[in-house]
Structure formats: C-alpha cells, structure tokens
Amino acid sequence: MRDVAIIGVGHTKFGRADKSSLELFSEAALQAMDDAGITGKDIEGLFMGAALPGFEEAQVMPAAFAAAELNLGPIPATRYEGACASASVAIRDAAMWVASGELDMVLAGGVEKALSMGTAFATRTFAMSCHSPTEGPVGLTFPGVFAMAARRYAVEYGIPLDELREKMAYVSIKNHKHGALNPLAQFYKKMGALKVEDVLNARLVADPLTLLDCCPFSDGAAAIVLCAAEDARRYSDDPVYILGTGQASGSALSKMEDLTKPVSRIQSARTAFKHARLEPKDIDILEIHDCFTIAELIALECMGFFEWGEAANATAEGETDMGGKIPTNMSGGLIGKGHPIGATGASQVYWIIKQMRGEAAKGNQIDPVPEYGMTDTLGGDFGTLCHLILGRDRVRR
Amino acid sequence: MRDVAIIGVGHTKFGRADKSSLELFSEAALQAMDDAGITGKDIEGLFMGAALPGFEEAQVMPAAFAAAELNLGPIPATRYEGACASASVAIRDAAMWVASGELDMVLAGGVEKALSMGTAFATRTFAMSCHSPTEGPVGLTFPGVFAMAARRYAVEYGIPLDELREKMAYVSIKNHKHGALNPLAQFYKKMGALKVEDVLNARLVADPLTLLDCCPFSDGAAAIVLCAAEDARRYSDDPVYILGTGQASGSALSKMEDLTKPVSRIQSARTAFKHARLEPKDIDILEIHDCFTIAELIALECMGFFEWGEAANATAEGETDMGGKIPTNMSGGLIGKGHPIGATGASQVYWIIKQMRGEAAKGNQIDPVPEYGMTDTLGGDFGTLCHLILGRDRVRR
C-alpha cells in the first residue's frame, strides 16, 4: 500500500448560497484543482459526500453529475451517504483507492444545501439519520439527542447541570470567537465576543441546550485532491499526508450502553491512531464535530485527549483554545463556521491543512504550525463515526 | 493487490414484502453468512447499496443500522448511492478493500422497498436520479428516457419502429419466461408464455414502450460475503472470484452524443474487461440491467457482445437465450425477476454465482456451468454504470 498525500484544497463560503449544490461543489473542486496545479484531465475518480440532496434539490446520484459539471470525463464518481460524516467517509475511501495503486489522482469532498431548505424541514429530514423505527415515532431530533447526552454527562460525572451548562458555554464562546475571525465561516465577524451569560440566556432549544449550544445549518462545499505520496512534491511544496483513518458504526440509541461514551466514536478514533502509529499526545490540532457544545466534550474524551468527565473543566480552563493543551476547532468548528452536512468532513480536512501551511486567519493560526492534526466527524446520533489523521511528514514518528 | 473471492450469497424473494428494509437486508445477509459458514464476528466491514431509503422509510444512513441489526459490532458500514447501480458500486468498493489487504472478510449488498412505496411515488422519486436541473422541469421519468432511446435506435439503424417493437418484445418474452421459472422472482409462475402480440398490445406506458417492455418496482434485498481468494477454500467448495470491475459516469441527457451508445456504459465495460484481461468472447453468461427491453439491447452492444444495431435481430433469433451465443438474464432479469433498486446489482451477482454452482432453477440453469460471467448495472439515465466480471477460476486465461 502506498502513502497518500493531499495536494490541493478548496472551500466555499459557508452560509446561505444562491447557487445549486452542483455549482457549489464545482467551486470548491475547481479551487482544489487550481491549488494542486492540475486540470480535470488529471482526475481519475470522484468521491463525494452528500446527505440529503434528494430532499434539497430533488437530485439523487449527484456525484455523476458533479463529474460531468466539472468536465472530468466518464470517470467513476460515487456518492457516499453517512449523514453528517458523508464527506469523511468519501475521503477515507478515496485514500484507499489511491493507497491501493488503482488510482493515481482523485478528487474527494462534499456538499450540502442545508440552510436553503429551511431550518424546520432540515431538522426533520436530517433526523431521518436517527434509527427511524424506534426514534422516529417518538419525534426525536438531534437537539433532543444531545440534550439527553448533556444530562447524562452531568449525572455520570456528578456535575450539577447548571455548572455543566456554564462549562459547555465555553465551547460556544471559543468556537464563535474563531468563527468570527474566519472569512469563510457562516458567522464571520459575528458573535465573536460572547459571554457565558449570552449562551445561557439564549433561546432554549432542548433543555439544557440553548440556541448558542447548537451549530447552524449551512450551505457549502469543500473538496481536496489526493495523490500518491511519492508524486506529491511534483504538485505541491507543502503536501499533507493521510497517516491514518478510522470508521465505525453505532446502533439505535436504545441499544447504546452510555450516551457519553459512544463505542463508535471510541473505536473509530482508536483505529485511526493504530493505523497512523500515533497517540493523542502526538496530535497538535483538532477539528472536531461540535454539532452541539456537549458533542465536542464527548469527542475529546472518546478520542483520548482528556480523561472521562474532564473535558468540560479543561475547556472552561482554556485547554482546547489557542495556547492550550490541544487547540480544537480553530476554524470555528461547526458552531462558528457552519455545518453544511455532507461537506463538513472535507471542511475539517481543509482547515487542518490550512493550519499546516500557516494559512489560517489571523487569530486562528497556531504557532508553530502543527505537525500532526486530526479530524472527528459524526454522522447521525453516533451511527457513523470517521476519523482522519494528517501529518506534514509522511514518515510516522 | 490480492485476488478476491465470493464465498457466500443470499437473496430474498422479490415482490411485495411485509418487512422493513432492515429486516429484508438482514434476511439476505444472514443467508449469505450461513452460506459461507461464518458468523457476524467474522465480518470486518459492511458495504451497502440503497437508493431512496429516506423517501421509503424515512431512514437515512441505513448501513450503520443494518450492521447493528446483524449484531456485527462497531465495524465500518457505508451506504453507497448510485441510483439503480448502488449495490454494484458497493460490491466494487468492498472488493477493493479486500484486495488491498485492509479487510479480510466483508459483507456487501443492497436493499430497497420500491414496490411498497407505490408505483406513482416510486416513479417520481426515482426520476430524481436524472439530471434534476434540466430533466426535472420537463417532467422526464425513466420510461420517457428509454422510449426516446428506442426511437433513436430505430432511426440510427434504419429499423422501422413497428419492427423494432416486435424485436424488443423478444427481450420481454425471454425474461418473463425465465422469471416465471425462478422461485425468488416477482413474476414466478406468472407470464411465462408471452407472445409478441401480448407485449405489443399491453398498456402503452411511453410510446413505443408498453407495460411489458418495463421492469416492475420491487421490494427485496441481496447480499454476498467476500474474502481474500487465498482464504476462500477454507469456507467454500465453490468460491467465485471477482476478476475485473469497472465503473463510469455519464452526464445530463442534453450533453450526450448518442442515447444508443452511452459512453459511460462503453467505458465501464471496457475497464472491467481490461482489469480481468478477458474479452466478450470469453464470457459465458450475463446478467444485464434490462430496466426496459431497449436497455438490454443497448447494453449488449455497448459491452461488445454484438455489433452496433445487431442486438435486436440477435435477440429475436434467440442468440441471448439458453443455447444461444450469450445467455442473458437467465434469472429473469429486472423484467421477470423484479427490480428492488438498491439491491439489483447484488441480485445479479447472486444469480451469476448460482449458475456457476449449477444451482439455478430448472430451465434457467445453463449447461455446462459457466466459467466466466458478467454483470451490467445502470444507475439513472446512464449516470452511473458498473460492471463486474466473475470467474470460477482465479487464474485469468
């Protein structure tokens, strides 16, 4: 198996887009190809994440038409659907096709028109990535799932709920702060200076989560170009290598032992670390699936960056902000940057790479530039988890 | 890269099912695991095709829940959506993961509840795998696409339309005849003795196609177990090997040069032949995507089994029936066996393998058992094409 490099990246402005999903994806893809200094003729396969294009634009099978829109010729083009983890699953598969030697250069990424479809319809349709037979009839949507997770977290670790709410608020403050600095973020120049009380007093969505504990729906796309590591320097002065990947699946909530320790997230992260021959202490920067503030805390613990029950305190103490133990979501994360469902995993990879190139926005860029970074992407209520570990050096430590 | 074998297969009865898609897929998957003599503990990954589960059962991300339903543990489970080619794309990817050495044993297949959702709703939702921006507004659905293809075929090859209609009828007669003999087919014991006039005089769906030129919508599932070829004899006395795969993409109809020679179908078949180091003359049996009678003719020509414009005559002369040059759709095909969209590619593989084991139904089984077989699966209006070449011997000729 060959090592795999990322040699080009592209990312649209997140927010409300007056473009179709094919246009949005093309914008990100063309940027990525320009960034790599290649043209469509060089691309041998397209790996595309999209969660609900049928509901958004009555467009099933978008990958084939994206390849056509980009004039890539009759190459294989596949759509991956793993709810919010769709793009990460697509990238993981793209990396495998390059690693195997079957394809030499491919395009991967994702797109969603989640804001344009309207928040109420988006909430209801995206809830279909819950376990429909048991969770549909009770009317469960994601804010409810993560409200339960927050309550369980409080009970599990003996933290009074009001105290936990304050600590979760620091996730929101940090991610909104960095989103406000990120020109491609949905909340660029907005909500950059929240206080704990602002989060606590925002409109209640699902007790104990307020609106500012939740990420928004967004329109957007992100894409990357992958090739064999041995060819990477022909195209890029600063290639980034995919050192490890992991993917795992969950079950219906009713079958989960503990909402605060989802097995799928633990297993997927472990697989990625094992594959990369790295440990949490080696990682310099994270992009984590903070669909809700509590989700970021659970992710940090499942991935092994903090002991069980300690991520809440650590976040309140700044350990996940710039200069802390493990800077997390310096792009703004889903909460500050936006969450175009099928694009989110590719956006996370984009921002890790921008950090590794020293190209993140002022106030978001960590110093020194990170050597190793990791993404965490969550589909549904822990149904699909995917982790990717990236490094500036293809040789593992 | 390792060679890959299929060591177990499963297939539900096609037709109307009083089961959920998770139950249907589990039925096929458990059969496949039993057939391979393995249990869920042996499975390291799930590769699942499904086209419209969100519209059928409000269930997005079904692969994760299928893994949970089958008690496979937190293994990676991915849903592939390429319209009617979803399962073939999933199987092709599964084969890559095994070939690469990353996974040793995996489950692949697909499921759909296309009949239960009602024909009118199914027709409209499945039309979303056409190019929605240009083909949606004109109200195009699949019968219309293939009616145009039939008319173009008549013009292109100078065949009077009435004469072409008679020749297409032989596809319907052949496939209904074999479907009537196949106990798992939707039309088992039904319509086994059609005459040309029956097809011509059936209800007109889209001129020149009548109801008997069209495949039905179906509920159903099919699944296979794949492992490394070197391990296959530990599990199966008659493993079948995946010798070559191909996949290609098309464009909006308005950008296609010729509806009777879709580039995606030609390219995908060529890739599979090249990969397998085989030619059409080496293939003993075909399962082809006969969503409409004309589609079977176009496929036979694109894949290289007949010269352009000659498949219609050849079919009328019995060249694609048992004892002919290339027996095609001895299972009944989509027309006689049924078409549960996301399951169809896996069903095609199932029936090639049953033929290779000598286990097809009486009247459907070819003699001697085939050495080499091939599947052709079409997603949308030539948007996604996938071909798989299977052999009883892992050594290519």
Over residues A71-97, the pLDDT tens digits come to: 999 999 999 999 999 999 999 999 999
CA–CA distance, A47 with B372 (Å, rounded to integer): 30
Output the pLDDT for position B217.
Answer: 96
Cα-flanking dihedrals φ and ψ of residue B30, to 5°?
-65, -40
Q: Which of B81, B255, B268 sits opposite A61 (nearest CB)?
A: B81
Angle at the Cα of B395 from the Cα atoms of B306 and B280, rounded to 5 degrees: 5
Examine the pLDDT at A290 and tell me if it is beyond 70: yes
Output the pLDDT for position A282.
Answer: 97
Output the pLDDT for position B396.
Answer: 54
**Mean pLDDT along residues B391-396:** 79
Examine the pLDDT at B304 and tell me if it is beyond 60: yes
What does each C-alpha distance from B38 to A361, B9, B30, B101, B105 come to in angstroms?
A: 53, 12, 9, 19, 10
Partner-chain contact A63 B249, CB within 8 Å: yes
CA–CA distance, B274 with B262 (Å, rounded to integer): 19
Output the pLDDT for position B119.
Answer: 86
Which of A249, A253, A265, A386 to probe by mutation at the B interface, max B CB count within 10 Å? A249
Rg (CA), chain B: 19
Partner-chain contact A58 B128, CB within 8 Å: yes
> How many Å lie between the alpha carbon of A262 and the closest alpha carbon of chain B?
10
Query: Which residue in chain B is spatially nearest to A264 when comparing CA positions?
Result: B74
Output the pLDDT for position B120.
Answer: 87
Over residues A370-389, the pLDDT tens digits come to: 999 999 999 999 999 999 99
Per the residue annotation, which of A11, A131, A339, A387 is the catalytic one? A339
Which of B47, B80, B132 to probe by mutation at the A interface, max A CB count within 10 Å? B132
Which of A81, A123, A242, A266 to probe by mutation at the B interface, max B CB count within 10 Å? A81
Cα atoms in the Cβ-side hemisphere of radius 13 Å centred on A22: 22
CA–CA distance, A228 with B62 (Å, rounded to integer): 32
A 10 A CB-CB count for B19 gives: 17
How would residue B32 be classed by pLDDT, with cut points 50, 70 and 90?
very high
Examine the pLDDT at B198 and tell me if it is beyond 90: yes
> How many Å lie between the alpha carbon of A213 and the closest alpha carbon of chain B?
25
How would residue A394 be classed by pLDDT, with cut points 50, 70 and 90?
confident
Question: Which chain A residues are closer than 8 Å to B1 by Cβ?
Answer: 100-102
Output the pLDDT for position B397.
Answer: 43
Output the pLDDT for position A397.
Answer: 43
Examine the pLDDT at B243 and tell me if it is beyond 70: yes
Known catalytic residue at A339:
yes
Examine the pLDDT at A365 and tell me if it is beyond 60: yes
Partner-chain contact B54 A55, CB within 8 Å: yes
How would residue A120 be classed by pLDDT, with cut points 50, 70 and 90?
confident
Per the residue annotation, which of B11, B178, B339, B387 is the catalytic one? B339
Examine the pLDDT at A396 and tell me if it is beyond 80: no
Average pLDDT of every residue of chain A: 97
Q: Which of A55, A96, A267 sits opposite B96 (nearest CB)?
A: A96
Output the pLDDT for position B394.
Answer: 75
CA–CA distance, B241 with B369 (Å, rounded to integer): 15
Pick from B109, B150, B81: nearest CA to B6: B109
Inter-residue contact A97 to A2 (CB < 8 Å): no
Quote the percentage of chain A above a pLDDT of 90.
97
- Residues 6 or more apart from A169 whose CB is under 8 A from it? A194, A196, A199, A200, A212, A213, A293
Partner-chain contact B249 A129, CB within 8 Å: no
Over residues B138-186, the pLDDT tens digits come to: 999 999 999 999 999 999 999 999 999 999 999 999 999 999 999 999 9
**Mean pLDDT along residues A240-256:** 97
Q: Which of A20, A55, A74 sits opposite B248 (nearest CB)?
A: A74
Over residues A223-235, the pLDDT tens digits come to: 999 999 999 999 9
**Mean pLDDT along residues B84-96:** 98
What does each C-alpha distance from B22 to A132, B26, B50, B112 come to in angstroms?
A: 11, 6, 11, 10
Known catalytic residue at B386:
no
**Mean pLDDT along residues A270-298:** 98
Average pLDDT of every residue of chain B: 97
Which of B249, B261, B264, B275 to probe by mutation at the A interface, max A CB count within 10 Å? B249
Q: Which of A1, A59, A68 sits opposite B132 (nearest CB)?
A: A59
> pTM for the whole thing?
0.98
Examine the pLDDT at B395 and tell me if it is beyond 70: no
Inter-residue contact A146 to A215 (CB < 8 Å): no
- Residues 6 or more apart from A176 whose CB is under 8 A from it? A187, A190, A191, A192, A194, A212, A332, A335, A336
ipTM exceeds 0.90: yes
For A4, the token pair is: 């795999």
CA–CA distance, A334 with A338 (Å, rounded to integer): 5
> How many Å lie between the alpha carbon of B94 and the closest alpha carbon of chain A?
10
DSSP 8-state symbol, A113? E
Specify the pairing of strand A384-391 against strand B209-210: unpaired
Query: Which residue in chain A is spatially nearest to B94 when comparing CA positions?
Result: A93
Question: Which chain A residues are closer than 8 Å to B24 by Cβ?
Answer: none
**Mean pLDDT along residues A190-219:** 97
Structural domains of chain B ordered from first start: 4-118+217-234 (3.40.47.10)
Query: Which residue in chain A is spatially nearest to B70 when comparing CA positions?
Result: A251
Partner-chain contact A76 B255, CB within 8 Å: no
